[in-house]
Amino acid sequence: MSDVKIKADDSAFDNYYARLGALKGNLKLKTEGSTRRAFSALLEETAKVRSWTLAEEVTRRRKNHRIRLDGVLYGKGNLPRGYWEAKDEGDDLSTEIIKKRAKEYPVGNIIFEDTTQAILIQDGIEVATADVRDRDALAYLLTRFFNHEMEPFEEFDKAVDWFADVIPDIGGELKQKIDDNHKSNPKFRTEFEDFMELCRNSLNPNISKEAVNEMLIQHLLTERLIRNIFQRDFTRRNVIANKVEDVIDALTSPLFDRSDFQQSLDTFYDAIEGAANSLAENFQEKQEFINTVYEQFFQGYSVKTADTHGIVYTPQEIVDFMCAAVEEVLQDEFGKKLGEDGVAVLDPATGTGNFIINLLNRVHPRYRRQFYKNSLFANEVMLMPYYIASLNIEHEYYDLEGEYEPFEGLAFVDTLDLAKRVVDTADGRMTQNLLGGMFTEKNSARVQRQQNTDITVIIGNPPYNIAQVNENDNNKNRSYDVIDERVRQTYGKDSTATLNRALYDPVVKFFRWASDRLGDNDGVICYVTNNSFVDLGSFDGMRKHLFQDFQRIYHLDLHGNVRRNSKLSGTTHNVFGIQTGVGITVAIRKKSYQSSKLYYYRLGEYWTRQDKLSFLRKHVEKAGRHNSLNTVEWEELEPNSKHTWLLSEFANEFEDYLPIGSKEDKRASRGEAESIFKLYGAGALTARDDWVLAFTQEI
């Protein structure tokens, strides 16, 4: 990695001194919390030379305590490259450094500053000191800071770049070897057919041979990383990995040698494993690291899978806000604590298990064991994240309790497939029961135990994708007979939209499923999703039913809809880096309430991703880690008769205008029309305009 140089005449220094002067001079501020904003901005601006990102107030766990870092600078792979600690002007900086060392603060590459002096420590040694008023000295200190490499991160950078370039070729090579074995390896064919039948019964009745091949490729490419990074005999211990290994064993033949194949990737594996191991015992950073590898794997190798499943790592600030909100609702609305008897939690699309891990850390130790063993559930439908979730959750429990227990609450299953038999209850709501086996006997038992449990909390980040980008992609989201029918009977039936394709977005299905899954019980749904349903016309039926099904709804609009505002960027303004707006919804079912209420808060139109994450973090911290909702200045909304939540200033006046046409008048066979036109139509809809219309005959 080539060196960079921070120049003393950089405008970042002008901005720094101006901010510092305003804070200390004009405003007379001297405390760390007030004055550190100036150095924070300096780091954020100068870090651009390395494309590093500054995250503030980051908590890290040590063996017997936690530390709170004022700043962590992250580079590629979400790996920490440097740290920053701010102190008060009145503190003795040398003394404070000794205290921080004693608390096991990282000293690989860290700046300590108190608005008058900055000290740089690298690899445990003080290497530079600067009077912050001395531009040249401060620029030199920052130059050393940004050029320092905490080995083996440099090799990791190379590995990530190499991985992104060659992963399609590596996957293609594996696919060819598997195809060859399909033709010439009878033992493999037998094991594969048995495995595929399990997948049909458990995951998708229409699953293709190619999709199952891809599961094997995921396993082959990541099993060594998982085994070495987490240092567990995972492939023989986990109920799903064990079954996949049977198929892989049958694949081993003169046509394919597993060890030879993995050895050919040693350059990549060694760098990735070295980077992960350099994180020492900090499992939280290992978890963030493996999440990044997981994202890059799917984005690089399996783009279609990433697209249809909406594979995006949920930022920790969002996870923390949502889990705090759930704790708050349980306490304030139901008088219960997380982990108590009668509180069962389910993450229906767990990904790598981040929500479950956060909840485990929130449960009081006296409840934790029974919560983990009896009342905590998660589902995942893709093999690689399922593996990672299993490892993450089991390791977290081991770290908290000091003993290993398999997480029996995790099931390898498609959540939307669990509604295979639906029964009407007395009040018209639905209950769901499981039919059929679920992959293996042990996995089936896990699913059945989950289905037999009354769920109180449903929390998570469901897939966000609405449809394939191009009809030629052959990449549509799969259909679910029961859930699709429930959407038609409820959201679709009460929608005024002519074209309601958007109602079959996976997000909509997960809301429908969750509403039904709570059954007759009081409870809460907490999702972070694409939030088009809040204001688009085609979702009016969904809004109607949400307002009927839940007595309190909170929606925090994180905005970031690039499609509606071309001045925004998905990479800098959207918390997930996608094109569609995002929001956090907390829907509370409490039947003792006589009416429903809707609360809404929207973040600034041009807030950046970091602004939004900082907002979430601060609102969790304001009232303690068990609260978040009560610190937001919610606006109560009153939906109108057409189930519109966000009304424009002149909405009521507009309602009084004579409509051009309406469905009611069109359906009416007699009587005067209450619209300008009674008969109207969309005209000829070929859905093939690009084929039948052109400016030339030569197409």
Residue range 36-53, pLDDT digits in tens: 889 999 999 999 999 898
Q: Which of 250-259, 325-334, 371-380, 509-518 comes out lowest in average pLDDT?
A: 250-259
Using the structure block, give the residue that is written with the tokens 């973040």. 603
Residue 223's pLDDT is what? 76
Could you report the per-residue pLDDT of 279-312, keeping only the tens digit for each? Answer: 655 555 666 666 666 666 655 555 455 444 444 5
> What is the distance between the alpha carbons of residues 80 and 55, in angstroms, rounded to a whole number?
10
Cα–Cα distance for residue pair 92/257, rounded to 1 Å: 61
Query: What is the secondary structure of 376-387 as a DSSP string?
Result: EEEEE-SHHHHH
Residue 308 φ/ψ, nearest 5 degrees:
-70, -30
d(CA 524, CA 506): 19
- Structural contact between residues 488 and 531, judged by C-beta atoms closer than 8 angstroms: no
Taken as a whole, the chain contains a residue count of 699
Distance of alpha carbon 78 from alpha carbon 313, whole angstroms: 11
Mean pLDDT of the chain: 81
Of residues 324 and 473, more confidence is placed in: 324
Least confident of 103-117, 283-297, 377-391: 283-297
Residues in contact with 557: Cβ distance below 8 Å, sequence separation at least 6, in sequence order: 531, 534, 581, 583, 600, 601, 602, 603
- What are φ and ψ of residue 110, in 5° steps? -140, 140
Long-range contact set of residues 395-403: C-beta below 8 Å, sequence gap at least 24? 395/230, 395/232, 395/283, 396/283, 396/357, 396/360, 396/361, 397/360, 397/368, 397/372, 399/61, 399/283, 400/360, 400/361, 400/365, 400/368, 401/368, 401/369
The verdict on whether omega for the bond into residue 254 sits within 30 degrees of 0, i.e. cis, is no
Digit-coded pLDDT (tens) for 120-138: 999 899 999 999 999 999 9
Q: CA torsion sign, 152 to 153 to 154 to 157?
A: positive
pLDDT over threshold 70, residue 233: no
**Dihedral angle sign, alpha carbons of residues 262, 174, 207, 189:** negative
Residue 213's nearest CA partner among 243, 265, 249, 177 is 177
Q: What local confidence, expressed as pLDDT, does residue 553 receive?
A: 97
CA angle (607, 608, 611) in 5-degree steps: 80
pLDDT above 90 covers a percentage of the chain that reads 37
508-533 pLDDT tens trace:
999 999 999 998 899 999 999 999 99
Q: Which helix (H) or strand (E) holds 653?
A: helix 651-655
Tell me whether strands 597-602 and 635-637 are parallel, antiparallel or unpaired: antiparallel
Query: pLDDT at position 637, please?
Result: 94
User: What is the C-alpha to C-alpha distance for residues 464 and 475, in angstroms, rounded to an integer?
Assistant: 14
Does the pLDDT at position 248 exceed 80? yes
What's the pLDDT band for 391 if we cut at 50, 70, 90?
confident
Residue 589 CA to residue 591 CA, distance in Å, equals: 6
**Which range has the top average pLDDT, 162-176, 243-257, 397-411?**
397-411
Return the amino acid letter for 260.
D
Binned at pLDDT 50, 70 and 90, residue 472 comes out as: very low
pLDDT tens digits, residue range 354-370? 899 999 999 999 999 99
Q: Cα–Cα distance between 518 and 588 in angstroms, integer?
A: 11
Residue by residue, DSSP assigns 191-241 as HHHHHHHHHHHHT-TT--HHHHHHHHHHHHHHHHHHHHHHTS-HHHHSHHH
Res 421: pLDDT: 42
Whether the per-residue pLDDT at 205 is higher than 80: the answer is no
Three-state DSSP state, 74:
strand
**Category of 123 on φ-ψ map: left (φ > 0), alpha (ψ -120 to 50) or beta:** left
pLDDT in tens, 321-353: 999 999 999 999 999 999 999 999 999 999 889
pLDDT recorded at residue 475: 40
Residue 147, pLDDT > 80, answer: yes
In angstroms, rounded to a whole number, what is the distance separating the alpha carbons of residues 76 and 160? 8
CA-CA distance, 567 to 244, in Å (whole number)? Answer: 47
| Residue position matching structure tokens 């399996």 | 302
Buried/exposed code over 490-517 (b: 16+ C-beta within 10 A; e: otherwise): bbbeebeeeebebbbbbbbbbbbbbbbb
**How wide is the angle at C-alpha 552 spanned by C-alphas 547 and 555, nearest 5°?**
85
Smallest Cα–Cα separation from 198: which of 238, 246, 251? 246
Six-digit token pair at 167?
């992963």
* pLDDT confidence of residue 692: 66
Q: Is the pLDDT of residue 197 over 90?
A: no
Q: How confident is the model at residue 434 (pLDDT cuts 50, 70, 90)?
A: very low
pLDDT tens figures, 24-40: 765 455 555 567 889 99
Highest mean pLDDT among 85-89, 164-168, 456-460: 456-460
Please report the pLDDT score of residue 655 as a whole number: 63
What's the pLDDT band for 427 if we cut at 50, 70, 90?
very low
Q: Which pLDDT belongs to residue 430?
A: 45
- The set of residues, in sequence order, having a beta carbon less than 8 Å from that of 511 and lying 6+ positions away, is 525, 527, 529, 533, 542, 546
> By mean pLDDT, which of 55-69, 90-104, 625-639 is the weakest?
55-69
Which span out of 292-301, 421-430, 524-533, 572-581 was modeled with the highest average pLDDT?
Answer: 524-533
pLDDT at residue 309 in the model = 45
Average pLDDT over residues 369-377: 97
Whole-angstrom Cα Rg for the chain: 28
CA distance 344 to 459: 11
